[in-house]
Amino acid sequence: MSDVTAERWVRRSQDQNWVTRLLDWKPFLVVMCLLPAVGILTIFLTYPLGLGIWLAFTDTTIGRSGVWVGLENFEYMMEDPIFWNAVFFSVFYTGIATIAKFGLGLWLALLLNNHLPFKSFLRAIILLPWIVPTVLTAIAFWWIYNPQFSIISWVFIELGLRTTNIDFINTAWPARWSLIGANVWRGIPFVAISLLAGLQTISPSLYEAALLDGSTGWQRFRYITFPMLLPILAIVMTFSIIFTFTDFQLVYAITRGGPVNSTQLLATLAFQRGISGGQLGEGAAIAVAMLPFLIFATLFSYFALARRKWQQGESND
Amino acid sequence: MANIITRRSILGAGAAIAAGGQAVAQSRVQSASGVSAPTLPIESGATLRMLRPVRFVAPDEEVFRANCARFTQQTGVQVRVDFVGWEDINQQTAVTANTGAGPDVIIGFGDAPHIYADKLVELTDIAEYIGRKYGGWMAVGEKYGKRHGTNNWIGLPFGGTAGPLVWRKSAVNAAGYQTPPNDMPGFLEMCKKLRQAGKPAGFALGNAVGDGNGFANWLMWSHGASITDDAGAVSVNSPQTLASLNYLKELYPTFVDGGTISWGDISNNQAYAANSVFVTSNGVSLYFALKNDPATRAIAEDTEHSVMPLGVADSWPSAPLTLNAMLFKHSRFPNASKALLAFLMEQPQYEPWLDANLGYWAHPVNAYKDAAVWTSDPKITLFRDSMNNKFWNGYKGPITVASGQANAEYVLVQMYAAVASGQSTPEAAMREAERRARRIFRR
Per-domain residue ranges of chain B: 17-161+321-388, 165-318+409-441
Residue B117 and residue B124: Cα distance in Å, rounded? 13
B 195-254 residues with CB < 8 A to A = 206-207
Q: Please tell me whether residues A160 and A290 are part of one structural domain.
A: yes
Which residue from B91, B94, B258 is facing A148, i.e. has the nearest CB? Answer: B258
pLDDT (0 to 100) of residue B1: 35
Q: A127: domain CATH number?
A: 1.10.3720.10
Average pLDDT over residues A160-185: 93
B199, B262, B276, B407: best to mutate for the A interface, most A CBs within 10 A: B262
Q: List helix spans (H) across B29-154.
A: 58-75, 86-99, 112-115, 124-133, 139-145
Q: What is the pLDDT of residue A309?
A: 52
Domain-located, residue A62: no
Cis amide bond preceding B192, omega within 30: no
Band of the pLDDT at A21, cuts 50, 70, 90? confident
Residue of A169, A170, A286 to mutate when probing chain B, most B C-beta within 10 A: A170
pLDDT at B15: 41
Inter-chain Cβ pairs, chain A and chain B, closer than 8 A:
99
Among B262, B270, B277, beta carbon nearest to A259: B262
pLDDT of amino acid A15: 65
Residue A12 pLDDT > 70: no
Q: How many other C-beta atoms lie within 10 A of the C-beta of residue B5?
A: 14
Q: What percent of chain B has pLDDT over 70?
A: 94
- DSSP classification of residue B280: E
Q: Say if A155 falls within a structural domain.
A: yes
Q: Are residues A121 and A244 in the same domain?
A: yes
pLDDT at position B178, please?
95
Share of chain A above pLDDT 90, in %: 56
Residue A237 pLDDT grade (very low, low, confident, very high; cuts 50, 70, 90): confident
Give the closest of A62, A148, A273 to B276, CB-based: A148
Q: How far is CA A240 from CA A49, A195, A268, A294, in A?
A: 22, 12, 18, 11
Residue A259 lies in a domain: yes
Flag whether A64 is in a domain: no
Structure confidence at residue B11 as a pLDDT band (50, 70, 90): very low
Interchain contact, A167 vs B94, CB within 8 Å = no
Q: Which residues pair with B281 in a beta bridge?
A: B165
C-beta neighbour count of B210 within 10 angstroms: 18
B72-77 contacts: CB < 8 A, separation 24 or more? B73/B1, B74/B343, B75/B42, B75/B336, B75/B339, B77/B42, B77/B46, B77/B47, B77/B48, B77/B333, B77/B336, B77/B339, B77/B340
Helix (H, G, I), strand (E, B) or coil at B398: coil
Domain range for A43? 19-56
Q: Is residue A1 part of a domain?
A: no
Cβ-based contacts of A153 with chain B (< 8 Å) = 258
pLDDT in tens, A139-168: 999 999 999 999 999 999 999 999 999 999
Which residues of chain B are within 8 Å of residue A61 when distances are taken between CB atoms?
Answer: 401
Q: Show Cβ contacts of residue A314 under 8 Å, excluding neighbours closer than 6 positions.
A: none
Question: Burial letters for B20-30: b for 16+ Cβ neighbours within 10 Å, e otherwise?
Answer: beebeeebebe
Statement to judge: residues A50 and A83 lie in one domain: no
What per-residue confidence (pLDDT) applies to A306?
Answer: 59
Residue A6 lies in a domain: no
Residues in chain A, how many?
317
Same domain, A50 and A129: no
What pLDDT, on the 0 to 100 scale, is given for residue A10?
A: 55
In contact, B106 and A63? CB cutoff 8 Å: no
Distances (CA, A) of B125 to B39, B67, B147, B396: 9, 21, 14, 27
User: Kind of pairing, strands B303-306 and B279-281?
Assistant: unpaired
Same-domain pairing of A109 and A148: yes
Residues A195 and A122 reside in one and the same domain: yes
Cβ of residue B405 closer than 8 Å to a chain A Cβ? yes
Closest in B115, B116, B259 to A147, CB measured: B259
- Look over chain A and give the mean of its residue pLDDT values, rounded to a whole number: 87
Q: ∠ at Cα B316 (B310, B320), nearest 5°?
A: 145
The residues of A whose Cβ lies within 8 A of any Cβ of B are: 61-65, 76, 81-82, 145-150, 153, 164-165, 167, 169-172, 175, 255-262, 272-273, 276-279
B153-192 pLDDT, tens per residue? 999 999 999 999 999 999 999 999 999 999 999 999 999 9
Provide the domain count of chain A.
2
The chain B residue lying nearest A76, using CA atoms, is: B439
For the stretch B274-293, pLDDT in tens is 999 999 999 888 999 999 99
Residues of chain A with Cβ-Cβ distance to B439 below 8 Å are 76
The minimal CB distance from B256 to the residues A148, A257, A279 is found for A148
Q: Where are the alpha helices (DSSP H) in B293-393?
A: 297-301, 334-345, 347-356, 373-376
Residue of B nearest to A145 (CA): B262
B 96-115 residues with CB < 8 A to A:
97-98, 115
Q: Which of B367, B406, B407 is nearest to B387 (CA)?
A: B367
The torsion angles phi and psi of B97, rounded to 5 degrees, stand at -65, -40
Class of domain B165-318+409-441: alpha beta
Report if pTM > 0.90.
Answer: no
Please tell me whether residues A114 and A86 are part of one structural domain: yes
Same-domain check for residues A120 and A268: yes
Q: Which of A153, A258, A261 has its CB closest to that of B262?
A: A258
Cross-chain Cβ contact A277/B408 below 8 Å: yes
Query: Is residue A50 located within the same domain as residue A154?
Result: no
Distance in Å, alpha carbon of A87 to nearest chain B alpha carbon: 18
A-interface mutation test, from B261, B326, B443, most A Cβ less than 10 A away: B261
d(CA B219, CA B184): 10
Q: Do A138 and A261 share a structural domain?
A: yes
CB contact, 8 Å: B425 with chain A? no
Let me know if the fold of B17-161+321-388 is the same as that of B165-318+409-441: yes
**What ipTM, to 2 d.p.?**
0.83
A28 and A94, same structural domain? no
**Within this chain, do residues A48 and A81 fall inside the same structural domain, yes or no?**
no
pLDDT in tens, A91-130: 999 999 999 999 999 999 998 888 888 888 888 888 888 8
Quote the CA–CA distance of A98 and B389 in Å, as a whole number: 52
Burial (CB count <10 Å: 0-12, 13-18, 19+), residue A99: exposed
Closest approach of chain B CAs to the CA of A46, in angstroms? 24
Q: What CATH class does B17-161+321-388 carry? A: alpha beta
Give chain B's mean pLDDT. Answer: 90
Q: Compare all CA atoms of chain B with the CA of A261 and give the residue at the minimum distance.
A: B414
C-alpha torsion sign, points A149, A153, A157, A162: negative
Residue B223 CA to residue B245 CA, distance in Å, equals: 10
Q: Out of A10-24, A228-242, B297-311, pick the least confident.
A: A10-24
The pLDDT, as a whole number, for residue A288 is 94
Q: What torsion, rounded to 10 degrees, do the Cα atoms B126, B127, B129, B134 define? A: 130
Q: What do you get for the CA distance between the two ends of chain A, in Å?
A: 65
Element (H, E) at A304: helix A290-305
Residue A259, preceding bond cis, omega within 30 degrees? yes
Q: Using an 8 Å Cβ cutoff, are B311 and B182 in contact?
A: no
Q: Do residues A104 and A110 touch, judged by C-beta distance below 8 A?
A: no
The angle that helices B411-420 and B211-222 make with each other, rounded to 10 degrees, is 80
**Cα Rg, chain A, nearest whole Å:** 28
Dist. CA B93–CA B102, nearest whole Å: 9
Pick from B373, B286, B282, B352: nearest CA to B321: B282
Residue B403 touches partner A, C-beta closer than 8 Å: no
